[in-house]
Every structure is written in C-alpha cells, then in structure tokens.
Amino acid sequence: MDQQAKDLRIHRRSGPRIANAIIAVIALLIVGIAVKVFIGAGQIRWDIVWEYFWSPAVFSGVGITLMLTLISLVGSIILGTVLAAMMISGNPVLKLIASSYIWFFRGTPLLVQIVFWFNLGLFLPTIDLFGASVNTNTIITPLTAALLGLLLNVSAFMCEVIRGGLISVDQGQTEAALSIGLTPNKALLRIVLPQAIRVILPTAGNLAIDLLKTTSLVYVIGTREIMGTTQSIAAQTFYVIETLVVASLWYLVLVTISSFLQSRLENYLARSDIRTTSKIRKVI
C-alpha cells in the first residue's frame, strides 16, 4: 500500500522552475539595461531634477492638483449618487435625463470639455441670474473651468460605479425597509447605500486615482497644477526632460499614497463587515 502511494505521488518537476528562473533573470537584465540607459546616459541633469522637485512653485502646483482632485471627487460623488438614484428610479423622465447626461459626458473627450468651459465666454458673454448680469469671464477662470470639466466628466463615470453598487444589493433589503415604514429615499440612504459602499469603493478608488492623474490635462488652459507648473519652468529654463521627470515623480508619490489609503480603507470596511456578520450569527 505504501509503495502504491509512493508510485501515485505527484512529484514537482524541476523543468518549470528552471524555466521560470531563466525568464526572471532575463527580465531583470532587461530592466537593468533600461535603467542604466535612462539614468546613466548622462543627458539628464539629476541635480536639476532634485532642485525643482523641492521647488516652492512645484509645491504650489501639488497643492492645486490635490485641490482639483478632492473638490472634483467630492462633487462627482454627490452628483453621481443623484444621477444613480435617477437611473434606478421608476420615473422615465428622470431616467432619460440621467442617461442623456451620462451619454454626453462619457461620449465627449475630457480635454474638449475643459477647453469648452474655458471658452464659454465666446458665445455666452454674460450670465443672467435673478435679474443680475455677470460677465462670464469673471466667473470662468482657468481654475473654475478645470473644476467644471473634471467634476462633470467624472460624475458620469461615478454614476455608473454607484449604480452598479446599488443594484448589487438584494432587492429584499429595500422591500424590508419599506415594510417597516421607511420612505424610498430613506431606504436608499439608510439601508441600501451603506451596504453598497463595499462594492463601490474599489472601483471608485481607482476612478479617484485616475482623476488625480487626469488633472494634468488642465495645464492646456493655463492652470498651474503640477504639469502646468513644470511646463512653465521648462519654458523658462529649457530643462524639458528634467521638469517632466519632476512631474512624473510627484504623480508617482501622490498615486502611491492614494493607493495605500484606498487599501487601508478597504481592509477596514472588510473587517467591519466581518464583525457585523459575526454579531448577527451570534444573535441567530
């Protein structure tokens, strides 16, 4: 019996391990050569990169990038939640409005939208509100045009993320909430949405990280975020590659921090869900 078991035992062959080791060595060699060519070529002034990485002007650009990201993200979550509620509502008019919004802002390039808002004053010189007339160019600055373009565009994608999370919650949860006297709106906010957050968070976090990098597009209208600031420095000093490296390093730093925070938040919500499930099982 023991001999039969030994004969049937599956041994791990050394062939795949040797092949994997060879592939790993080749990959490391390729990466090493690429790093040596990039860093050791002698064409990039790394002292200039280090100098401008800590420049006060670049720090100011980092602050504007974070401000654009946070305001656009919070605004897109609020507007996206409203649009998602309209999409899953039984009102055909609300559903048509929300779907038209999503169709338009998802279907047109973000860069086109940003430039459109920046040039709004060309065909709408004044904005009349409540009997008062305001010059459009005094309202639509490069910063407000950037915020409008980012917020409205990301809201269309955030709506689909939130809608996917909402419809992932069992319909019985809504029916149970309505049966105890909650209105549909309260059932959505108090019962359905808290359960949908765990489904929404990973995709919404990736969308937020993408938004952080997408803010680089607004430099075309003169906004002094990271990309705009480094391009302005490059135009004055002609250190084009060096300033691009500075911008890339700052985006890498911000994305790394954002990814870490997203991971911690997901782990926290997962632990909270486990604790809640354990309590329910003890009660049962």
pLDDT digits (tens, 9 = 90+) for 27-85: 888 888 877 776 666 677 888 999 999 999 999 999 999 999 999 999 999 999 999 98
The number of angstroms, rounded, from the C-alpha of 131 to the middle of its chain's C-alpha atoms is 39
Confidence of residue 266 (pLDDT cuts 50, 70, 90): confident
From 39-43, 153-157, 175-179, 206-210, the region with the lowest mean pLDDT? 39-43
Segment 2-29 shows an average pLDDT of 69
Q: What is the pLDDT of residue 197?
A: 82
CB atoms within 10 A of CB 96: 12
Angle at which helices 240-283 and 46-53 cross, to 10°: 50
212 or 5: whose pLDDT is higher?
Answer: 212
Q: Give the C-alpha distances (Å, rounded to integers) separating 51 from 13, 55, 155, 242.
A: 53, 6, 37, 10
The token pair that represents 70 in the structure block: 């946070």
- What are the contacts of 119-122 at 24+ separation with CB within 8 A? 120/145
Alpha carbon distance 276, 278 (integer Å): 5
Q: Pick the more confident residue, 91 or 114.
A: 114
What is the C-alpha to C-alpha distance for residues 75 and 73, in angstroms, rounded to an integer? 5
- The mean-pLDDT minimum among 39-43, 133-137, 253-257 falls in 39-43
pLDDT value at 114 more than 70: yes
* Chain Cα centroid distance, residue 91: 30
On the 0-12 / 13-18 / 19+ scale of CB atoms within 10 A, 116 is: middle
pLDDT at res. 283: 38
Per-residue pLDDT at 16 exceeds 70: yes
- pLDDT of amino acid 277: 45
- Rounded CA gap, 159 and 87, in Å? 9
How many other C-beta atoms are found inside a 10 Å radius of the C-beta of residue 207? 21
End-to-end, the C-alpha distance of the chain in Å comes to 47
Q: Per-residue pLDDT for 116 more than 50?
A: yes
Amino acid in position 5 = A
What average pLDDT is seen over the chain?
84
Mean per-residue pLDDT, 181-200? 76
Tens-place pLDDT, residues 164-179: 888 887 777 767 777 7
Write down the number of H helices and E strands in the chain. 13, 2
Cα–Cα dist 58/65, whole Å = 10
Q: Report residue 284's pLDDT band, with 50, 70 and 90 as the boundaries.
A: very low
Structure tokens at 62: 């980092």
Q: What is the pLDDT of residue 276?
A: 45
Please tell me the pTM assigned to this model. 0.80
Q: What is the mean pLDDT of residues 125-137?
A: 80
> Does the pLDDT value for residue 3 go beyond 60?
no
Beta-sheet strands, E only, within the chain: 126-129, 132-135
Burial of 97 (0-12, 13-18, 19+ CB in 10 A): middle
Q: Is the pLDDT of residue 103 over 80?
A: yes
What value, to the nearest 5°, has the Cα angle with vertex 40 and ends 38 and 44?
A: 65
Q: Is a pLDDT exceeding 80 seen at residue 23?
A: yes
Long-range contacts of 49-54 (CB under 8 A, 24+ apart): 49/242, 49/245, 49/246, 49/249, 52/230, 52/233, 52/239, 52/242, 52/243, 52/246, 53/246, 53/249, 53/250
